[in-house]
Amino acid sequence: MKKTLLYLGYVGFENLGDEVCFAAFLQWAKRLEPLVDIRCCDLRNPRPIARIHSETPLGGVMLGGGSLLQGTTFVKPALEAVNLGVPLFMFGTGIDYMTEAYARLLADDAQPDVPPQMFDGKELRLDALSAIVSGCRSAGVRGPLTERFLNLIGGGGKASVIGDPGMIYEPEEDASMLRDYPISERRFAAVNWGGTFNSLFGCNEQRTMMGVVDGIRGLILRGYKILIYAMWPNDLAPCRSLWQAVGCPDDCMLVRRVYPIDAICTMLKHASFSVGFKLHAGVLSANAGTPFLSLAYRSKCLDFALSVGSLAYCISTGSVSIPQAILGFESGLRDGARAVKEQYLSRRAAFKQRYDELLAAVTEAVSESENRLADD
């Protein structure tokens, strides 16, 4: 009997960051089609792993891309899979909501205290996370912050960086966004913006936005066209607010809807560089080989930037120097853009190899379960 591989993650909520993680998983999992059927968990109607397993034998459970390790939404079913003896894997999973100070300590490879300082009232179940990582067949995580923390709390050294799934996504050419918002022959920079209800480093979204406004105006003075875009429908209104505050409609365009992943990837490929607020705006920029400056609003942004060697290109949203960071980033790229692109492409190739290793681990686990059934 063909087994099922169950994907745990945020799917179907129109957030392109989560959707590209799932899309990358589906591309990756095509090579498993002879062995397993792919199934995605239904967050709107959650069911215990034991019940799913009794109805449809599970060859494995995949804890997907995104920041899934805080709270209980995904920790609970992952721990249940471990306790049932169902093979568990991580597909570039991450942790978010560490305070900036704590995340910086981890970035420096220090040994901070546990439990960590968490941001915005979020919680980590340390005992559950330790059991999950220890019980994983392969604990491939998004970045070094997640890796170091999980191994610090007793993961047995099993957590290892395989990169954000968005880095291995293979986009198709989709020029619809560029056709709808034509950029002149002049250079252009893509700027992603959004809202967090002040759940960001610095806790002052308005002040951060005005720093971005000043940075955009400085880029326009340097001869750039600007394209402001969203990664989630809820971010369209904040993007409009940013565009209105810039007040330069001839040189700054507002993208008025959320485009498909491939259209955004194609646009980013043609940009000189990008400024990203939401995490996967930076991920897709790196995927395209386009240098990005991260407006690091939570620890997940530092986690990813560290994974691709661009922590220096992160400016905290709590900083008062955002305009200077944006303009300094642009200045540095005049001679350094090629090196940044080559670095991204090198990391992408390394991540693909690690995801191939994950594929081999899943194949082995599913084959083992089939052999056990045959013996029974």
Model confidence, pTM: 0.96
Give the integer Cα–Cα distance in Å for 142 and 128.
19
Which of the two residues, 81 and 184, has the higher pLDDT score? Answer: 81
Superfamily of the domain at 176-348:
Glycogen Phosphorylase B; (3.40.50.2000)
229-268 per-position pLDDT tens digit? 999 999 999 999 999 999 999 999 999 999 999 999 999 9
- What's the pLDDT score for residue 154? 86
96-136 per-position pLDDT tens digit? 999 999 999 999 988 888 777 788 888 889 999 999 999 99
- What's the pLDDT score for residue 370? 66
Give the integer Cα–Cα distance in Å for 149 and 139.
13
Instruction: List the Cα angle 292/298/301 in 5-degree steps.
Output: 30
Pairing type for strands 292-296 and 3-8 reads unpaired
Q: How many CB atoms lie within 10 A of CB 50?
A: 15
> Which of the four pLDDT bands, split at 50, 70 and 90, describes residue 376?
very low
Name the residue ranges covered by the structural domains of the chain: 3-169+349-375, 176-348
Whether the pLDDT of residue 372 is over 80: the answer is no
> Which of the four pLDDT bands, split at 50, 70 and 90, describes residue 192?
very high
- What's the pLDDT score for residue 231? 98
Is domain 3-169+349-375 annotated with CATH 1.25.40? no
Report whether the peptide linkage leading into residue 115 is cis, meaning its omega lies within 30 degrees of zero.
Answer: yes
Give the integer Cα–Cα distance in Å for 208 and 280.
19
